[in-house]
Structure formats: C-alpha cells, structure tokens
Structure 1
Amino acid sequence: MTSSASAQSTAAKEPAVIGYPNRKGVTIERVTYPARNMGTTIVANLFKPAGFNTNRKYAAIVVTHPFGGVKEQTAGLYAQHLAELGFVTLAYDASYQGESGGEPRLMEVPAQRLDDISCAIDFLVKHPQVDAGRLGSLGICAGGGYAMCNAQTEMRVRAVATVSMFNLGEARREAMGNLTYEQRIERLKQASAARSREARGEPVTLVPVVPESPAAFTDRTPDLYRQGYEYYVTPRAKHPNSPNRYMLSSLPLQMAFFPFDQVETITPRPILMIVGEKADTKFWSDEVLAKAQEPKELFVVNGATHMDMYDKPQFVTPAVAKLNAFFGQHLALA
C-alpha cells in the first residue's frame, strides 16, 4: 500500500473537522480533482451551506492550510464556519501531503502549493452551483503567504484574506531571527546532502515542523513553535495525516520563496489580513499592509497569539465575523 493510499484509508475514520462535530446543517462532500501540472489527484472537502439549493449559484472560497497541516484541522474549521454563513468552501490537502497525491511524501514545494490553489479554483469554476465570478481565497499561516502570493497572478481570485499570515521563505532563511547567514548555508548543505542520498536510493530525511516535545524548547524558541507543539502534537488537533514532518531536501525550495514581492499587483482587488494582537508573526502582516495598495485592511484580534487564531472559539469567532463581512461585501453579485 502506498503512503497516499494509507492516508486515504485513515481519513475515513477521522472527522472532517477536528474538534467541531456539529455541522449545523452544512453538508461536507469528499471530492477529488487533478493537480494539473503533476498528473496526480488532490483530495478536498467541499462544504455546502444548509439548505443548499441546486438551482442557484453561490460565492465560493478556497481555504489553504498551514505548513504541516491538513484539511481536517484549522482550514476545515474556517471552511465550516464560512459555509454556515452561506458560502461554498473548499478545504484541500496540498500536493505531496495528506490524502493528496505526489511522491515522495511530505515535500513542501512552494511553486506547487501556489498551483494547488489554482487547481482548487479550476475545480470550483466547473461546479454547477458555483458562480465563477465570485471566488475568494483564504489562507492560514503559511497558507496565508501562499494565498497572498497566488492572488498576485491568479486573476480569478476576486478577494484574498489571511489569518496569522506566515512568510515561509523568510522563516526558513532566518528562523525568525534565530538563524545566522552561516547557519543558513550549513542547513542548505545538509539539505543538498539529503537530496544526494535520496538520488542514490537511500531513505528520505524527515525533520520536525514544530518541536516534538517541550523538552526541545529553548529560551530562543518562538511562541509560534511552542504553541505549534500544543496544536499539532497533542490531542488538541493531532491528525494521522499531519505527522509533524517534512522532507529536509525540500528546504532549498522553501528558502527560495519570496511571497510578497508583487503584492501591489493584487490591487484593485481587496486584501484582508487577520492577526492576533500578541502574535509573534504579526510583523509579516504589517509588512504586507505597508507594501500593498488600497483596498487593504489589517484586522487585529485582541489578546490572541498566532496559534490562538487556529481554533480557539473566543478568537476564531471575531475572525469569522470579519471574514463574513469582507467576503460578503466583495463577493456579492455585481
């Protein structure tokens, strides 16, 4: 059995949204569609509002999960909430990850991640109950960086929003201020050596996304990664298809990713960034706010950290209300 087939058999036993069993009339349909450039299949959950009417067209939103995540975690939670408010939403597993295809497993390939969003849009524009002229894009954490970058060239996106946006490229190059240039070069050498081993047929080298236990924390470990352990590794949101690993040999592709370079091309389409007041990643949303053209907005959730925005109701609730107002306005019928 392949790893992707194993993931599919596991998924049938897992909830569509971790920690949120009440669907409130929302229908969740497991769907598949092509990853166009790879010849593989993407697996997604399509969320349909209560009272779904096959005789009308709905605004739809693609929801992109964080680095190391899967569709059943925070992406599915936001997709569920937005479906409760009347949107058709799609939360999918990235290529090489979750139930989606792609070998070797657990690669993080930014260029493919960007096209995964466009592949989701390809699926939605063909759906008989989706209005292809009213498509939004929402990304969480690294998914927010991908959503922001994709919208710069993906003109089918009418409005783009992020939650706890994370610049994966800069984070890999600098480790949020914890990585020197010399250490960066050493990590690139390690990644290159891992790729050579894989080319010779040796086992892949997998490294943790977040620390595997509090024993791995140091006084320099950012809150993001401390709280990432609580989210991904404990029962709070642990999922068998999210093993807290990625391939070391994909690190150079991540370091070469500059997601904000053309953010001005999104205008006149609107941008919304939602961020926790206490998030140690807030500076990235501030950076995009400074670079982007109008219309743009930064919405700060009082008291929240980066990871609080993933699933804690007291912080997700105002974020969803803001997303509803944003997408409701900008995905309205012309």
Structure 2
Amino acid sequence: MADRTELEKIVFTGSGGELVGNLFHPAAERSARPGPAVVVSGSWTTVKEQMAGGYAERLAEAGFRALAFDFHGYGESGGAPRELEEPERKSIDIAAAVDYLRSREDVAADRVGALGICAGAGYSAAAAARGAGLRSLAMVAPWLHDDELLLELYGGAEQVAARRERGAEAAVRYRESGEVRYVPAVSRDDQRAAMVGAFDYYLDESRGGLPQWTNRFAEMGWLGWLGFDAFAAVPGVTVPTVLVHSRDAAIPAGAERFHAELGAPKELHWLPGTQFDFYDDEATVTAALDRVLAHFRATL
C-alpha cells in the first residue's frame, strides 16, 4: 500500500456524533489538483477495515481518493447504542461522508461518487435519494430487499415475525432499563445470531474476522433492518448507476428488480461468484472493480 496509496485518518460529523474514517489517496495524487473521490460502504454489521476498506484501497490504487468509515455506533466512531443496525441513520452517515469529501480542497466537489457493497448498496441508494451530493453510484453484490423478498430470505412470515418480535422486546428493554441485548452477528450454530451458517468470511481471522469487528448485533436492530425497503429509494436515484452481481450471490432478484425500476442511466453486469467472493476473493473483486472503475471513469 505504501508505494501506491497513502492513508489519512479523518474525523467528520455524522448522525449525532463524530465518525472516523480511513481516506485512501493515490500516492502520486496526494498533492495534486482536486480530483474525484468515492465513499465506500460495506455490508451490514461491518467496520471500515473489512470489505469497504479493501475496495477503498483498490480504488485509490486506480487513481481515486476513497473513503471507508465506521458508521455511528461501530468501530472507532462515536455513538450509542453500539452495533445497532439502523439503515436510515447509516444513509444519513453516508450523506455526511459525501459532504465531508466535497468540503475538501483536494476533492472536486462535483465529482464525488458512492460505492456500496452488499447492504451498503441499499444504504448508498437511500443516501442518493435523500439528496446527497453524488454524481455517480456503484453497487457490488447488492443486498436489496423489501417485505416480499424478506419472506423468501428468512424462511417465511413466521420467521420474519419472530425476528421482529425479538427486536421489539429488545427495544422495550432498552427504553425501560438502558440495557442493550446483544446476540452474535455471525455464528455457525447459534440460532439467535443475525447470520447463521458457514459464513467463513466473518469467522476467519485472516479474512473478515478482524479484531476491530466485535461480532455483536444489537437485537433491537431487527426492527430497522427488516423495516428497510431499498426499492423506496429508486425514484430518488437520478445519477448514473452500475450494479455488479452474480446469480449465485445473495438476492439476485433484488438487483434485477432495482435495475429494471431505475430511471437513471444504468448498467447491470452479471459475474460468477458467491456473495462472499465479492468481499475478498482476488479474482472476483478484480472483475467487479473493472466494471466499477469503468463506470466511475466515465461518470466522475
């Protein structure tokens, strides 16, 4: 990284407090004239050192300033409750990150884009719809759901209702006592976890199982997560958008529908690979970035 990019630790104000980010600069561009920049967001429950940071560094190697940051209540950023998944707040934080980049002297204010990976794609779309000063949007392995898709994803109405009920009970406990009820974000066998299965990306210390990631999920977060409708953002997304996904990754039907409903200039690319391949598999990430870079070079 040292030869091709430079890392700057930054702090800016987001939804109710200070947010901490890693801003990657192309080494040759560190003191150059203002240029394009990209805000990068990763999957739900994650911190900036996971897939968001990996993509941000690769974007900087390709000539773009790129910011990966910790959302409110995650990683190095302030805010409480900790590890609470709040899609609306996360979209506000992305908009704040865009504003921060646009305020910098080394960034061209009219050339800022957003890249969302997995859940970060929906959050970035929501930020665009709420008026963030974006010129371009990219989505990699986008997780885009609504009430209808949730039924398939979580095994039917009873399973969705059970998660909502646990979230509501946890929210009542928090309001009454201030206690945050946590479950694992990822587990191979704990059925209370937000994600249950052989999700090795998160559980492998050489991949996404990093010390900065707590593997905790505030259970009241089910309310915001299950209540989020990524497609509600579609009418407000007016910037050129590219989606890169796989038929073998999570919710390909969501990406297909989002693309079909989008009125802005758009592209949809299908690649081979699983959802987690898009996080850190070298060949898959490179192939995805090829499409993303072509899009940003044309639109930023």
Q: TM-score, normalised by structure 2?
A: 0.91
**Aligned position for 1:192:** 168
* Conserved 8 A contact 1:168-1:254: no
SS in 2 for 1:319: helix
Quote how far apart the aligned CAs of 1:245 are. 1.8
Aligned residues: 296
Alignment partners' CA distance in 2, 1:114 and 1:251: 17
Percent of residue pairs bearing the same amino acid type: 31
> Which residue, out of 208, 232, 251, partners 1:237?
208
Amino acid at match of 1:64: S
Where do 1:196-275 residues align within 5 Å?
A: 196-201=172-177, 203-210=179-186, 212-213=187-188, 215=189, 226=197, 229-235=199-205, 236-267=207-238, 269-275=239-245
Quote how far apart the aligned CAs of 1:122 are. 1.6
Quote how far apart the aligned CAs of 1:294 are. 4.2
Alignment partners' CA distance in 2, 1:139 and 1:232: 18
Q: Deviations over 1:53-80 (max 9, x none)?
A: 4240110000012101111111011101
Change (3 A) 1:196 1:82: same
Alignment partners' CA distance in 2, 1:328 and 1:321: 11
Change (3 A) 1:142 1:262: closer
**Aligned position for 1:153:** 130
SS in 2 for 1:264: helix
**Aligned position for 1:33:** 12
> Which residue, out of 7, 13, 24, partners 1:47?
24
Alignment partners' CA distance in 2, 1:299 and 1:225: 29
Amino acid at match of 2:31: T
Alignment partners' CA distance in 2, 1:135 and 1:171: 33
Runs (5+) with no aligned partner, structure 2: none
**Aligned position for 2:81:** 104
**Aligned position for 2:46:** 69
> Which residue, out of 224, 237, 254, partners 1:284?
254
Change (3 A) 1:175 1:72: farther
Q: Deviations over 1:89-148 (max 9, x none)?
A: 100011111111111111111111010011101211111100000010100110011112
Alignment partners' CA distance in 1, 2:20 and 2:149: 27
Q: Deviations over 1:175-196 (max 9, x none)?
A: 615132x343333232222222
SS in 1 for 2:155: coil
Q: Deviations over 1:205-247 (max 9, x none)?
A: 112333x22x459xxxxxx9645x2011112221123222211
Quote how far apart the aligned CAs of 1:32 are. 0.6
Matched, 1:93 2:70: yes
Quote how far apart the aligned CAs of 1:161 are. 0.5
SS in 2 for 1:288: helix
* Conserved 8 A contact 1:276-1:309: no
Runs (5+) with no aligned partner, structure 1: 1-21, 218-223
Moved more, 271-280 or 306-315: 271-280
Q: Deviations over 1:145-176 (max 9, x none)?
A: 11122212325111100111113654994361
Amino acid at match of 2:296: F
Quote how far apart the aligned CAs of 1:49 are. 0.2
Alignment partners' CA distance in 2, 1:284 and 1:225: 21
> Which residue, out of 97, 104, 115, partners 1:120?
97
Quote how far apart the aligned CAs of 1:259 are. 1.7
SS in 2 for 1:51: helix
Alignment partners' CA distance in 2, 1:286 and 1:225: 26
Amino acid at match of 2:13: P
Quote how far apart the aligned CAs of 1:250 are. 2.2
SS in 1 for 2:21: strand
Change (3 A) 1:173 1:294: closer
Change (3 A) 1:155 1:123: closer
Change (3 A) 1:166 1:23: farther
Amino acid at match of 1:190: R
Alignment partners' CA distance in 1, 2:34 and 2:96: 20
Change (3 A) 1:88 1:153: same
SS in 1 for 2:223: helix
Instruction: Report the aligned-residue RMSD.
Output: 2.1
* Conserved 8 A contact 1:65-1:92: no
Moved more, 71-80 or 188-197: 188-197
**Aligned position for 2:298:** 329
Amino acid at match of 2:244: I
